[in-house]
Amino acid sequence: MINRPFDIKAVLFDFDGTLTKPGALDFPLLKKTIGCPSDIPVLEFINSLPTSLEKEETISLLERFETKAAAHSKPNDGAESLIHYLRSKGLGMGIITRNRLSSIERALKNFENITISCFDVIISRNTPVKPKPSGDGIRLAAQKLNLDVKEVLMVGDYIFDIQAGKSAGCSTHPEQSGAAVNTQDLLVFLFLPVLPPCCL
């Protein structure tokens, strides 16, 4: 049974590891470099630093890692054809990321068939909104797309993507963190007709 109470009119993708292949950014090395404990997310660690100077210096190190990762990132298998197909079906396209916008722009240069213009909305670290796992970015994206948040699907395999979707009140795919984003399963979720209650 497909648990889809609303027709999905837009798809919001996590970027790193979803539209791009995982592993471009070496998180263990990054955390070691900035002194971040392994069990604490990077942005939350930076926000916890006691002084503005420490925060600025650590953000600078983070951005160096992000710049290098963006330059070496590669499109995930099927990502470009998926974006084109969903656009051909009239769905809005968006990106929700904890990364900065310039890194997304750089990484997209490594794609052959899609550009930043393929996305109707991009919510990045530069956007004045709380990052995932907060659902604020998804709600803002839905607002920019003139949609109810329940008409939006959040796609990403990390726990923050799932938590952000649930916080915002939208559907997520996959529904459990750690599961790979499967193109075929995503298309079934989006386009398999929803049976009326009498048929379930």
Domain that holds residue 68: 27-72
Asked if residue 145 and residue 49 are part of one domain, the reply reads no
Cβ-based neighbour number of residue 98 at 10 Å:
20
Q: What are phi and psi of 5, to 5 degrees?
A: -70, -20
Look up residue 68 and give its amino acid.
K
92 domain residue, yes or no: yes
User: Residue 74 forms beta bridges with which residues?
Assistant: none
What are the C-alpha distances in Å from 68 to residues 23, 56, 187? 12, 19, 32
| Preceding omega of 193 cis (within 30 degrees of 0) | no
Asked if residue 193 and residue 132 are part of one domain, the reply reads yes
pLDDT for position 195: 39
pLDDT for position 197: 45
What's the domain count of the chain? 2
Average the pLDDT over each of 101-115, 120-134, 169-183 and give the range with the smallest value: 169-183
The residue ranking higher by pLDDT, 179 or 165, is: 165
Asked if residue 132 and residue 96 are part of one domain, the reply reads yes
Confidence (pTM)? 0.88
Cα 31 to Cα 122: distance, rounded to the nearest angstrom: 26
pLDDT digits (tens, 9 = 90+) for 31-63: 999 999 999 999 999 999 999 999 999 999 999
